[in-house]
């Protein structure tokens, strides 16, 4: 795949990073309890005292523009991210995504540490080994120790690659809550349930076939320790698909305490439908759910004080200024704004109140998880982030 990055894109991306830094600096004193310690290079006076033994990765899914979160006007949409979580973690202002901007392929690239090049809408596994496979193979971890909770049936194959040295025998279990809710609701999938069941927002008529699913509905509800009836009852109290994913993730945490959990949030991608207020609602909900996930970590004995949380978008959205730009709606131009994202990491051994400006890649997440948890992401193209180790 040709590198979509240009010199001009590099300049725009660096400017975005600087703008984020300036905005975060403006929060100092106004909203945060402590001043930010800003650094440009990974040089620390003291080594972290402890290191995470578990990790949860959350994609701030679908991506959003800085206008809606990292500006004086947009900050109101993400109060928990900026005021509660960010002061407790290390924030990277400059993540450059040089891969394909489709949600499944981009998320798969995050899990492998390699820019995957398959068709975003194909029911295929990643080509390179996933983080789940490195984790289970190197650390000899059982099946229930790693899970993916995903929003779309199109993510069904994300749990393992087809690499011959790895593969499904080492993969994560992938839970598609909407799929099971649809089965549990049987034919009654209209009206109020529709908000929970739409597969994706970019191609609303696309309905991928789920092949090779590991569980039946009965097995799924057994995994959650719920009856199908109770699962439906619970689900219908929730306002969105991301809430459903969080509900399932929390049950999995309580029941199996997986050491490696990947949660893909996606509500804000409703932006494709063109309704700004729903897009904003999605961002606000994602903000709240990220805080709920962090609070769940702190309240569960298996996780408290032992768990790193990574929060990052799969990618951003187009700028208005580029040719074909379309406001908040899409990510079709592949411009520098849609490729310049951010990441927040929190947990034991991770510096608090820290902002890092140097450019990093989404591919760095998997090698960093490897260095943290003790496995070797040997085919990943990224590098471990020393700022977190």
User: Measured from the CB atom, is 74 or 282 closer to Zn ion?
Assistant: 282
- On the CB side of 160, CA atoms within 13 Å amount to 21
The residue whose Cβ lies closest to Zn ion is 269
With a CB cutoff of 8 Å and minimum separation 6, the contacts of 186 are none
Residue 57 or 268: the one with the smaller Cβ distance to Zn ion is 268
Shortest spacing between CB 54 and Zn ion, in angstroms: 29
SS3 383: coil
Q: Is 95 helix (H, G, I), strand (E, B) or coil?
A: strand
Between 240 and 353, CB nearer to Zn ion: 240
Decide whether 245 or 296 has the Cβ nearer to Zn ion: 245
* Residues binding Zn ion (CB under 5 A): 202, 269
Give the DSSP letter of residue 227.
-
Q: Given the complex with Zn ion, which of 169 and 204 has the nearer CB atom?
A: 204
Beta-strand relationship, 340-346 and 260-264? unpaired
At its nearest, how many Å lie between Zn ion and the CB of residue 331?
A: 6
The residue behind tokens 């439906």 is: 232
Cβ 219 to Zn ion, closest distance in Å?
31
Tell the smallest beta-carbon distance from residue 255 to Zn ion (Å): 31
Beta strands in 70-212 (DSSP E): 89-96, 146-149, 173-175
- The residue (of 145 and 202) whose beta carbon lies closer to Zn ion is 202
**Beta carbon of residue 191, minimum distance to Zn ion (angstroms, whole number):** 25
Cα 65 to Cα 174: distance, rounded to the nearest angstrom: 29
In terms of Cα–Cα distance, which of 96, 106, 102, 131 is closest to 342? 96
Write down the number of H helices and E strands in the chain: 12, 9
Q: How far is the CB of 245 from Zn ion (least distance, A)?
A: 16
Q: Where are the alpha helices (DSSP H) in 154-308?
A: 177-185, 194-197, 217-224, 228-235, 241-256, 276-299
């Amino acid at each position: 795949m040709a590198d979509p990055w240009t010199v001009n894109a590099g300049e725009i991306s660096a400017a975005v990073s600087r703008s984020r830094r300036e905005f975060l600096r403006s929060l100092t004193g106004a909203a945060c309890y402590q001043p930010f310690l800003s650094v440009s290079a990974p040089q620390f006076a003291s080594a972290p005292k402890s290191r995470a033994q578990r990790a949860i990765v959350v994609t701030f899914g679908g991506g959003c523009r800085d206008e809606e979160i990292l500006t004086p006007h947009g900050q109101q949409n993400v109060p928990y991210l900026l005021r509660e979580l960010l002061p407790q973690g290390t924030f990277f202002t400059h993540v450059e995504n040089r891969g394909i901007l489709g949600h499944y392929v981009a998320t798969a690239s995050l899990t492998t540490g390699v820019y995957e090049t398959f068709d975003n809408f194909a029911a295929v596994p990643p080509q390179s080994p996933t983080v789940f496979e490195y984790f289970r193979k190197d650390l000899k971890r059982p099946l229930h120790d790693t899970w993916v909770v995903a929003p779309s049936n199109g993510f069904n194959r994300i749990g393992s690659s087809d690499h011959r040295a790895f593969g499904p025998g080492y993969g994560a279990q992938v839970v598609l809550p909407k799929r099971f809710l649809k089965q549990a609701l049987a034919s009654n999938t209209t009206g109020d349930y529709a908000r929970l069941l739409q597969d994706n927002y970019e191609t609303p008529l696309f309905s991928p076939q789920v092949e090779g699913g590991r569980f039946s509905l009965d097995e799924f509800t057994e995994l959650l320790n719920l009856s199908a009836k109770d699962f439906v009852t619970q689900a219908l109290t929730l306002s969105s698909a991301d809430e459903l994913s969080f509900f399932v993730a929390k049950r999995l945490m309580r029941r199996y305490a997986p050491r490696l959990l990947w949660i893909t949030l996606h509500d804000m991608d409703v932006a494709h439908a063109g309704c700004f207020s729903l897009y904003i609602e999605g961002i606000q909900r994602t903000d709240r759910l990220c805080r709920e996930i962090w609070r769940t970590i702190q309240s569960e004995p298996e996780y408290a004080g032992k768990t790193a949380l990574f929060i990052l978008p799969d990618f951003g959205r187009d700028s208005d200024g580029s040719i074909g730009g379309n406001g908040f709606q899409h990510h079709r131009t592949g411009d520098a704004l849609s490729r310049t994202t951010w990441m927040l990491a929190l947990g034991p051994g991770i510096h608090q109140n820290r902002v890092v400006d140097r450019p990093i890649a989404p591919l760095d997440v998997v090698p960093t998880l490897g260095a943290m948890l003790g496995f070797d992401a040997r085919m990943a193209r990224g590098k471990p982030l020393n700022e977190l180790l």
